């Protein structure tokens, strides 16, 4: 039986009904990747909006309002006047919620802590929804790499170069679909063919892989970090055109999120409600948040072929 919008009674939650069973297997979605990679700011008491001030980038070499290069030792020569411009990116914190209604008979008759597992699954649903929404923002980055190509080492480096060219603050992280990393057209295919860079000055790896080069990359952590960029995988990234996935690489300052803090920095709340007349317990998972792009050029969309 698939997920649907019905009450969880003995006909729906039948997996552990009336039997002695082993530990339950709850099919969770991979979630809660994005909160640690972006700017998370709790909405202060008395408001449901978080504002992120973003300072306009300066050009220190501009003749009129950059750093003045004075021609003599006369200190009284007036310095160039420049403005300190800021803009505000506002995030109005709004509710996301999902509920399950568990009948008393199904809760009592299932020997697998049905209420506990149901609450955990609802919380996971909200955390996954958070990742989906925040990862969708990467589609709006004006810079991108890949398109119809497989994710090669050089495309990965192009993304880093784009961030560096725009003075994006480090560290950088890449959130990609598992097939963009481990699949036939994924980055891992480069690792099995690593070799000493061609002496001709070519940008890629060529020839048979040397064991020393392989060991160097493996020791550094092929899966978790490549060229100083943290690697995270999730199926929550966008699906592009036929056979493509749209991940991204970004600086922490590229995306911001305002949220309501339910304690300890947590933005997901679990609540219960009894409906005695219907002999059931309602479980509700709440989250209040809103994300936004802060500095467009501090992120790069990685749109690559996976099949």
Per-residue pLDDT of the chain (307 residues; tens, 9 = 90+): 577 887 776 567 666 555 555 667 788 898 989 999 999 999 999 999 999 999 999 999 999 999 988 877 666 678 899 999 999 999 999 999 999 999 999 988 887 788 999 999 999 999 999 999 999 999 999 999 997 789 998 999 999 999 999 999 999 999 999 999 988 899 887 766 654 444 444 445 444 445 554 565 556 545 688 889 999 999 999 998 889 999 999 999 999 999 999 998 899 999 999 999 999 999 999 999 999 999 999 999 999 999 8
Give the contacts of 71 (CB within 8 A, at least 6 positions apart).
Answer: none
Domain residue extents for the chain? 34-55+84-305
Write down the pLDDT at residue 149: 83
Write down the pLDDT at residue 201: 43
DSSP assignment of 27-52, as one string? -PPP---GGGTSEEEEPPTT-SEEEE
Structure tokens given for 214: 């392989």
Length of the chain: 307
Longest C-alpha distance within the chain, in Å?
Answer: 92
Give the contacts of 263 (CB within 8 A, at least 6 positions apart).
Answer: none
Long-range contacts (CB closer than 8 Å, 24 or more residues apart) made by 278-281: 278/103, 279/103, 279/104, 279/105, 280/7, 280/101, 280/102, 280/103, 280/104, 281/101, 281/102, 281/104, 281/107, 281/115
Structure tokens given for 240: 């592009």
Q: Give yes or no for a cis peptide into 42 (omega within 30° of 0).
A: no
Q: How far is CA 92 from CA 95, 171, 306, in A?
A: 10, 27, 36
Q: Strands 86-92 and 49-55, how do they pair?
A: antiparallel
Q: Which of 193, 167, 182, 191 is nearest to 232 (CA)?
A: 182
Q: Which of 29, 146, 81, 96 is nearest to 288 (CA)?
A: 96
CB 102 within 8 A of CB 8: yes
Classified by CATH at the fold level, domain 34-55+84-305 comes out as phage-related protein like fold (3.90.1690)
Q: Which of 116, 113, 102 is nearest to 280 (CA)?
A: 102
Write down the pLDDT at residue 217: 55
Q: Give CA–CA dist 262/54, Å, rounded.
A: 27
- Partners of 245 in the β-ladder: 239, 304
CB 98 within 8 A of CB 280: no
Displacement of CA 252 from its chain's centroid (Å): 10
Structure tokens given for 142: 């004006």
| pLDDT tens digits, one per residue of 116-133 | 999 999 999 999 999 999
């Amino acid at each position: 039986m698939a997920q649907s919008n019905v009450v969880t009674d003995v006909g729906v939650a039948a997996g552990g009904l009336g039997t002695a069973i082993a530990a339950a297997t709850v099919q969770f979605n991979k979630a809660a990747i994005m909160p640690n990679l972006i700017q998370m700011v709790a909405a202060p008491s008395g408001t449901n909006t978080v504002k992120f001030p973003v300072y306009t980038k300066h050009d220190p070499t501009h003749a009129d309002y950059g750093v003045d290069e004075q021609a003599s030792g006369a200190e009284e020569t007036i310095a160039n006047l420049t403005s300190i411009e800021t803009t505000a990116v506002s995030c109005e914190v709004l509710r996301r919620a999902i509920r399950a209604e568990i009948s008393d008979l199904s809760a009592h008759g299932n020997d697998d802590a049905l209420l506990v597992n149901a609450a955990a699954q609802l919380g996971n649903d909200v955390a996954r929804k958070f990742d989906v929404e925040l990862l969708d923002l990467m589609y709006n980055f004006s810079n991108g790499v890949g398109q119809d190509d497989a994710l090669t080492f050089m495309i990965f480096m192009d993304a880093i170069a784009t961030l560096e060219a725009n003075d994006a603050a480090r560290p950088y992280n890449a959130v990609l679909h598992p097939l963009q990393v481990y699949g036939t057209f994924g980055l891992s295919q480069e690792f099995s063919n690593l070799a000493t860079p061609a002496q001709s000055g070519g940008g890629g790896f060529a020839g048979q892989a040397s064991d020393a080069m392989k060991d160097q990359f493996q020791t550094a952590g092929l899966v978790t970090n490549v060229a100083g960029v943290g690697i995270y995988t999730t199926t929550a990234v966008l699906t592009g055109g036929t056979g493509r996935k749209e991940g991204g690489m970004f600086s922490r300052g590229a995306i911001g999120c305002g949220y309501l803090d339910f304690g300890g920095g947590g933005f997901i709340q679990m609540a219960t409600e009894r409906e005695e007349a219907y002999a059931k317990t309602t479980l509700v998972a709440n989250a209040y948040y809103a994300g936004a792009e802060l500095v467009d050029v501090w992120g790069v969309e990685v749109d690559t072929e996976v099949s």
